[in-house]
Amino acid sequence: MHDKFFENQQALNPEDLVKHAEALGLNLDKFKKCLDSGKHESEIKKDMAEGQKAGITGTPSSLLGWIAADGKTVKAVKIVKGAQPYQKFKEEIDELLTGKKK
């Protein structure tokens, strides 16, 4: 389903989701019941708010940063927006590791 959504980013309203589920051969009764229940809505909204707080405005986005001394907390210091090539990630990571800006 994930791949189907990315292939059809302009068709993600509830009716479209059902069509995608059908195209993939999913059990439509179970899918519609889950979709209509709103069971995961609060978790989705929480994740979206957390992303927005971190400066994420769309997908794909990647956060680069450091693991704190406690070994559990990650401090994001840079956002790489969009589907970027390997070289872009390498440059951004190298910049973080060396502390030198381009």
The CA dihedral of 102, 77, 2, 7, to the nearest 10 degrees, is -30
Q: Give the long-range contacts of residues 33-36, CB within 8 A, separation 24 or more.
A: none
Residue 102 pLDDT = 60
Residue 101 pLDDT more than 80?
no
Per-residue confidence at 15, pLDDT binned at 50, 70, 90?
Answer: very high
Per-residue confidence at 42, pLDDT binned at 50, 70, 90?
Answer: very high
> 47 φ, ψ to 5°?
-65, -40
Residue 66 pLDDT = 87
